[in-house]
């Protein structure tokens, strides 16, 4: 006959804990966190495999997360099992592939190169006849910049804020 308290504890853990399988990416934690590359516990039967999407992220777990070996390996690395509470806050770092051209476009936005931004906005809708989401965002950015510049010219607000910050600190 099983013990009520032990059985209850096991059942509660099954309800509140979940398993994340992954490969640790470094031995020493960084500021109380350590990164793992998640490794799905599934077998793919379709193409593209939904399990592959996990390869594009890095998960940061808090130091002290319970871990144990699975006895399985991926290349030279052992796949570990991490038992975590379902309400635990973790950090997820997506690895986003981006073209160098798109990166340059983003830099142009942050540098406020007005000519390039306007050209990008005009080009973004030519293929479909409708503005793309990126084109709309660029247009909204330009509009906000123009409004902010006009308000600053009329009120000299940026200088007042800078003076206030100087006085404050």
Last residue of some domain: 66, 94, 122?
A: 94
Q: pTM of this prediction?
A: 0.50
Number of domains in the chain: 2
Same domain, 9 and 90: yes
Same domain, 21 and 86: yes
Q: How far is CA 69 from CA 39, 66, 131, in A?
A: 13, 11, 51
Same domain, 76 and 134: no
Q: What is the span of the domain harbouring residue 90?
A: 4-94
Last residue of some domain: 49, 73, 94?
A: 94
Same domain, 110 and 68: no
Same domain, 21 and 36: yes
- Per DSSP, helices labelled H in 36-132 are 100-111, 114-124
Same domain, 17 and 90: yes
40-63: per-residue pLDDT in tens?
Answer: 666 667 777 766 666 678 899 999
80-136: per-residue pLDDT in tens?
Answer: 999 898 888 888 888 777 778 777 776 766 666 555 555 655 555 555 556 566 667
């Amino acid at each position: 006959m099983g013990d009520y308290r032990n059985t209850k504890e096991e059942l509660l853990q099954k309800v509140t804990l979940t398993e994340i399988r992954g490969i640790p990416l470094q031995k020493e934690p960084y500021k109380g966190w350590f990164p793992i590359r998640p490794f799905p516990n599934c077998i793919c039967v379709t193409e593209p495999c939904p399990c592959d999407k996990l390869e594009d992220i890095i998960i940061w777990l808090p130091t002290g997360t319970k871990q144990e070996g699975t006895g399985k390996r991926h290349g030279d690395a052992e796949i570990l099992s991490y038992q975590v509470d379902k309400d635990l806050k973790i950090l997820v770092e997506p690895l986003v592939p981006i073209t160098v051209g798109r990166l340059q476009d983003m830099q142009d936005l942050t540098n406020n190169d007005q000519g390039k931004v306007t050209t990008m906005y005009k080009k973004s809708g030519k293929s479909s006849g409708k503005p793309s989401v990126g084109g709309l965002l660029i247009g909204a950015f330009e509009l906000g910049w123009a409004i902010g510049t006009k308000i600053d010219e009329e009120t000299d607000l940026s200088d007042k804020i800078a003076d206030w910050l100087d006085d404050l600190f």
